[in-house]
Structure 1
Amino acid sequence: MRGFCKRQLLWLAVLPLLAVFAPPAEAQMREGPGRWVKKASLPIPRTEISVAELDGKMYVAGGYVPGSVTSYLLHEYDPATDKWRERRRMPLGLNHVGLIGHEGKLYVFGGFIRQNQDPVANAFVYDPKTDEWKEIAPLTSKRGAIALASLGGKIHLLGGAVGVGFRMRKSVNLHEVYDPAANKYASRAPLPERRDHMGLVVVDGRLHAFGGRYESFASNSNLHDVYDPKADKWTPLAPLPTARSGFAYGLLDGLIVVIGGEGMKGVFNENEAYDPKANKWRTLISMPYPRHGTGAAVIGEVMYVPGGGPVRGGSRLTEEHEAFSLK
């Protein structure tokens, strides 16, 4: 298959995520553009969360919480006041849900009901104005750790993992589009390689898919492909310098920024940016508190990164919340 050797994927034995309890390794701090600022902590420590921006606010859904690997929680953060508030909880307790803000509402797709395993097909929409959830058409297959992007009035859903239990867990290369108006899904050109826990960003009407993993963090990916919806075709681009998965990402000042993540050696503090115009990556200032299992919301010229796990796997949680900017 394209990429697993030619594009420097790491092949090692698959390990159960929670079997790893190693303390975080000393991370090498890298200098570069940008700065970090501490923000109000999450109300409760959480990892394997899903993060989305909607109408100038950040939302954090699901994840692992103290004593449980699933959560119904939905928190809303207002950067104007640096304060959190809890909103109506999700109808189903999950981790690794697909979460996206789209045309005034939040959409949730799939997720896991156990520790990074046993996916569901459930899908919901949340209206922040009424603080109400509504069930929508389920996914065509049960899966979690899906990457989402809003483009052309529809929602693209890529990759993810299927199967019951770790032994049956498999990454997929599915690419589907959900139409909220019709409440239906349609297939599009699949990912060039199977992946989950990856990043997906829209730049100039095209989808950039990057990083992630094949089955587990033992085989992280540095793949970076762009999808043209007009041609329904994928094209390879400059690979992610640091192969990793479970990272925070977003489009900040025209650059695709990738922060943190995990791999076989632990969690990453790497902060790297891709310039779509030059098809090149560069190093930014390191993440002060390395972690994975988080996400990011870009609001204005600031990228907010809440929660996550300071060691690989899910044995430790944090309420840490930092904001990154290039200016």
Structure 2
Amino acid sequence: MYKFDLKLVFTVILLLIIVNILPSSLSILAFSSPTSGESFWTAGTPMPTARSEIAGSVLNEKIYIIGGFDNYGHSTSTVEAYDPLTEEWIQSTSMPKPLDHTAAASFNGKLYVVGGGYLDRDTLSDKLYIYDSSTNNWTQGANLPTPRGASTANFINGLLYVTGGVDSENTLASTLVYNPSLDQWTEKTPMPTAREHLTSSVVNDKLYVIGGRINGMNSNVDVNEVYDPVNDKWTSLEPMPSKRGGLSSAAITVNGSIYVFGGEQPTGTFNNNEKFDVISGTWTSDINIPTARHGLVAVAIDNVIYVIGGGPQPGGSSSSLTEIFNAGKG
């Protein structure tokens, strides 16, 4: 009688399984590989201090997260910097005052922090605070024409543009320009649509201002308007697919597209990740943020976007999340 070698049989079966499964496994690995051109999310090192309604900017290849309010709803002067190379956070010099709902932008080795709320969000600020990375110290620039919070800030050709926001009575459409050399503010043509809790980005020396709200979470807008500093003119563009306010404090430009993350409404927070192609003038959606939230910061280094902090629930919530989006090749 023929005698089966069970060990040999099991070895053959195992080899057949490997031969049939391995190719599909390799294709899955290739699909999710950072070099495959596909976009994907990963988790980064959490911020040491959980915060929301924060501002942020890239300075000297590090990501600075500025102010905001904590889990107790108190304004904070905390400034922490994230190094993407080491994936570590370091404590930086605190702001002169606790501030939330600020706007921030960087230029020539300095951070510029504009307006915001302090005294636990009950009072708006007209201050411009400037952090010098060479001295690790803060100084103060010329005051804003009027106090404001929930604005947006960007540099274009060495000038700081501050748009929208809210003062003690009104939602603002104003466009303010600060000249660091002169320490002076001037006013330009206002936006067509007054709004606050908005976001913005600069592409080819033009300022794109997107989303926001008019008066509370019930009045989110999908507005998309672009400003040309050369002729001091605003133009309306294709609206964002969703109406969102309280979204990322900076829209991020990668691969010729502007990415807009998160936001809030009375019933919850958004995990939306929508991008606007400035060449075609059209919107598409990309992979959603793993954690829906509002009052967050989004900053980019190369094709990698760091989405940091923010509140998972509408209103006074916060987090220490660092979620990292690789935007792929297109």
SS in 1 for 2:218: strand
Separation of aligned partners in 2, 1:116 and 1:265? 22
Please name the residue that 2:21 is paired with.
none
Separation of aligned partners in 2, 1:117 and 1:271? 31
Please name the residue that 1:254 is paired with.
256
1:4-41 deviation line (CA, Å, top 9, x unaligned):
xxxxxxxxxxxxxxxxxxxxxxxxxxxxx621110000
Does the 8 Å contact 1:97/1:110 carry over to 2?
yes
Larger helix percent:
2
1:86-128 deviation line (CA, Å, top 9, x unaligned):
1110001110111111121000111001555421101111012
Please name the residue that 1:24 is paired with.
none
How big is the shift at 1:300? 1.4
Within the candidate set 54, 62, 67, 1:57 is matched to: 62
Higher relative CO (Cα under 8 Å, sequence separation at least 6) belongs to 1
Separation of aligned partners in 1, 2:51 and 2:320? 6
1:207 aligns with 2:188: no
Does the 8 Å contact 1:88/1:131 carry over to 2?
yes
Does the 8 Å contact 1:57/1:299 carry over to 2?
no
How big is the shift at 1:324? 0.6
* TM alignment of 1:1-327, pairs within 5 A: 34-114=39-119, 116-163=121-168, 168=169, 170-248=170-248, 249-314=251-316, 316-327=317-328
Separation of aligned partners in 2, 1:191 and 1:301? 30
**1:302 corresponds to which letter in structure 2?**
V
Structure 1 stretches of at least 4 aligned residues deviating more than 3 Å after TM superposition: 114-117
How big is the shift at 1:264? 2.6
SS in 2 for 1:218: helix
SS in 1 for 2:192: coil
Q: Structure 1 vs Structure 2: percent identity of aligned residues? A: 34
Separation of aligned partners in 1, 2:130 and 2:84? 23
Separation of aligned partners in 2, 1:115 and 1:279? 40
- CA distance 1:64–1:175, change in 2 (3 Å): same
1:183-221 deviation line (CA, Å, top 9, x unaligned):
000111101011111111111111111100102111001
Number of aligned positions between the proteins: 289
How big is the shift at 1:67? 2.9
Please name the residue that 2:32 is paired with.
none
Does the 8 Å contact 2:75/2:121 carry over to 1?
no
Separation of aligned partners in 2, 1:307 and 1:77? 12
How big is the shift at 1:56? 1.2
Any gaps of 5 or more consecutive residues in structure 2? 1-37
Separation of aligned partners in 2, 1:237 and 1:117? 35
Larger strand percent:
1
How big is the shift at 1:129? 2.0
Separation of aligned partners in 2, 1:68 and 1:232? 39
Does the 8 Å contact 2:104/2:154 carry over to 1?
no
**1:313 corresponds to which letter in structure 2?**
G
Separation of aligned partners in 2, 1:222 and 1:115? 29
Does the 8 Å contact 1:41/1:319 carry over to 2?
yes
Does the 8 Å contact 1:175/1:187 carry over to 2?
yes
**1:285 corresponds to which letter in structure 2?**
I
Separation of aligned partners in 1, 2:91 and 2:132? 14
- CA distance 1:114–1:241, change in 2 (3 Å): farther
Does the 8 Å contact 2:118/2:124 carry over to 1?
yes
**1:158 corresponds to which letter in structure 2?**
T
SS in 1 for 2:217: strand
SS in 1 for 2:306: strand
**1:288 corresponds to which letter in structure 2?**
P
Separation of aligned partners in 1, 2:141 and 2:122? 22
1:28-86 deviation line (CA, Å, top 9, x unaligned):
xxxxx621110000001111111111221100011111334200100011000000001
Separation of aligned partners in 2, 1:88 and 1:279? 41
